[in-house]
Amino acid sequence: MTNQFKDGFLWGGATAANQFEGGLNEGGKGLNLADVLPGGKERLKLLASPGFDFEIDQAKYHYPNHEGIDFYHRYKEDIALFAEMGFKVFRLSIAWSRIFPNGDETEANEAGLAFYDRIFDELAKYNIEPLVTIAHYETPLHLIKEYGGWKNRKLVEFFDRYVEAIFTRYQDKVKYWLTFNEINGATHLPLLGLGFSPESEATRLQESFQGLHHQFVASARAVKKGHEIIPESQIGCMLLYAPVYAFDANPENVMYVRREADLFNFFCGDVQVRGEYPYFAKRYFEENNIKLKIEAGDLEEIKQGTVDFISFSYYMSRTDKKHKTAEEMGQGNLIGGVKNPFLSASDWGWEIDPIGLRIALNELYARYQKPLMIVENGLGAYDQIEADGSIQDDYRIDYLREHIKQMGEAVQDGVDLIGYTPWGCIDLVSASTGEYSKRYGFIYVDKHDDGSGTMERMRKKSFYWYKQVIESNGNEL
Ligand code: BG6
């Protein structure tokens, strides 16, 4: 049986400005959050700890995001390589601080706008549809330092100005948009999505949910405005999705993981897709002493600004139980839980679970009945260049093949799946660790954690394999 992906299925790849553009100060760009995050494993510790200072300290750290993979100057070569693979869609983000360097200006920066014109025009040459994330972990630094990030209601207004500028400018060039990347990751690591580190563990939930409320309003306004300015636009939410399995059949554990899944996977989706806070929010807020400041009109705006489709990232599932010891906890999975004895893991400890993707697709479709797009998925791995110059990344091909098979199963289950953009289609800087060595790409970039490398691009074995996947609309795996 064929996989039955629909005609016009959006095959492609995904990136984010801060992880691959470089061009730190070019075209009048202002600094953003990613520019102050150091490279290396210490990044994750800093992200998780309260009191991050948002300063650049070159003597102590290095900052790979400053250079990225220099897409800023090499975009023509990179887009030609995407076209060679047959991409129908390319996911990228706009760096807010290229358009509004501080974030609170009233006039957009022309050089920043012109940069993305060049990118979209280049994509159009090859009929590659851009899929643009409006906010991908790159809040302008000034908004963080002066306003305290998304805790501050003022960011709704600044964001509104930013989306108006980009919708207006790119109305004839971009049809597919996503508002906030992995919006539900915010309660977990507020620093990345919300642009502040909580004052203390005790206030983390209160601060994060307030920040999230501001993003819900901002996202709903963006959807409404997008539909007005670009009538044919399709605007989606973007969730970090991980099915949550009960460790065993103990009903106590089953109930526990059900609530955890509701909170992590569905809370934000319910607001952005259904236009209202979920039924379980009231009790959860009361029990955790969360008191939201909701202004008059917010809930109506949220109701009016529901998304057209749901996009999500899928890397791993989570297995959990109510009472667990430190030894039982999984080592690498960023989203927590206990080790699943049935799954193996990547070199970074992320558990590999292709069937979990079919489960995710079914769960999301059962709940919302809206078109789904997988906008991130992939294997971060160490790659090696062979003596003959080739890169034999069969482990990556195996990972992707098994996930695409499960996508095919979900389509046959009846899920409306419209696209697939594996993460880091070209090697780039890792978000959680700031490493170059955690590679996801079909295209190898000669750049290394110690700063060395020529930035030369090379096709990996997976490049040719993915080309054939796209050519056959997912039937030749
Ligand atoms: C997602 C992010 O969480 O995972 C990306 O949206 C990120 O920005 C990707 O790069 C993979 O994570 P990492 O830490 O391996 O780069």
Residues involved in catalysis: 182, 376
Best of 42, 376, 426, 429 for a ligand 1 pocket test (most atoms within 8 Å of beta carbon): 376
Atom of ligand 1 nearest to the CA of 185: 3
The residue type found at 247 is: F
Contact 285, 213 (CB under 8 A): no
Per-residue pLDDT at 48? 81
**Sign of the Cα pseudo-torsion (18, 302, 47, 327, in order):** negative
Which tokens is 63 given?
Answer: 């900052």
Report the nearest-CA residue for atom 8 of ligand 1.
Answer: 431
- CA 430 – ligand 1 centroid, Å: 6
103 lines ligand 1 (CB under 6 A): no
Q: Using the 8-state DSSP alphabet, how is residue 7 labeled? A: T
182 lines ligand 1 (CB under 6 A): yes
- CA 377 – ligand 1 centroid, Å: 9
* Beta bridge partners of residue 311, listed in sequence order: 238, 373
Per-residue pLDDT at 62? 95
- Determine how many CB atoms are found less than 10 A away from the CB of residue 361: 25
Best of 239, 312, 313 for a ligand 1 pocket test (most atoms within 8 Å of beta carbon): 313
- CA 18 – ligand 1 centroid, Å: 11
Q: What tens digit of pLDDT does each residue of 408-421 get?
A: 999 999 999 999 99
Q: Show me where the domains of the chain are located.
A: 10-471
CATH of domain 10-471: 3.20.20.80
438 lines ligand 1 (CB under 6 A): yes
Alpha carbons 143 and 157: distance in angstroms, whole number: 12
CA atoms within 13 A of residue 32's CA, in its CB half-sphere: 31
Alpha carbons 210 and 152: distance in angstroms, whole number: 9
Instruction: Confirm whether the ipTM is greater than 0.90.
Output: yes
Q: Using the 8-state DSSP alphabet, how is residue 27 labeled? A: G
- CA 16 – ligand 1 centroid, Å: 9
Report the nearest-CA residue for atom 10 of ligand 1.
Answer: 431
Per-residue pLDDT at 1? 57
- CA 249 – ligand 1 centroid, Å: 32
Atom of ligand 1 nearest to the CA of 181: 6
Alpha carbons 8 and 128: distance in angstroms, whole number: 12
| CA 129, chain centre distance (Å) | 18
Atom of ligand 1 nearest to the CA of 433: 14
- CA 31 – ligand 1 centroid, Å: 20
Atom of ligand 1 nearest to the CA of 440: 15
Report the nearest-CA residue for atom 16 of ligand 1.
Answer: 430
- CA 182 – ligand 1 centroid, Å: 10
Q: Is the pTM of this model over 0.90?
A: yes
| CA 231, chain centre distance (Å) | 25
Helix %, strand %, coil % for the chain, to 5? 45, 15, 45
- CA 431 – ligand 1 centroid, Å: 5
CA-nearest of 221, 127, 234 to 178 is: 234
H-only helix segments in 126-276: 141-147, 154-169, 190-194, 204-229, 251-261, 267-269
133 lines ligand 1 (CB under 6 A): no
Overall residue count recorded for the chain in this entry: 477
The helix/strand/coil state of 381 is strand
Which tokens is 146 given?
Answer: 């002066």
Alpha carbons 410 and 164: distance in angstroms, whole number: 36
Which tokens is 341 given?
Answer: 């004895």
Alpha carbons 131 and 90: distance in angstroms, whole number: 6
Per-residue pLDDT at 158? 98
If the chain, 477 residues long, is cut into consecutive pieces of 10 residues, what is the mean pLDDT of each piece? 86 98 98 96 83 91 97 98 99 98 98 98 98 98 97 98 98 98 93 91 93 98 98 98 97 97 97 98 97 98 98 97 86 82 94 98 98 98 98 98 98 98 98 97 98 98 98 97
Best of 20, 180, 432 for a ligand 1 pocket test (most atoms within 8 Å of beta carbon): 432
First to last CA, the chain: 13
Contact 137, 34 (CB under 8 A): yes
Best of 191, 423, 426, 427 for a ligand 1 pocket test (most atoms within 8 Å of beta carbon): 423
- Determine how many CB atoms are found less than 10 A away from the CB of residue 114: 12
Per-residue pLDDT at 335? 80
Query: With the CA atoms of 239, 154, 167 and 23 taken in that order, what torsion angle do they form, in degrees rounded to the nearest 10?
Result: -80
Which tokens is 64 given?
Answer: 């790979």
351 lines ligand 1 (CB under 6 A): no
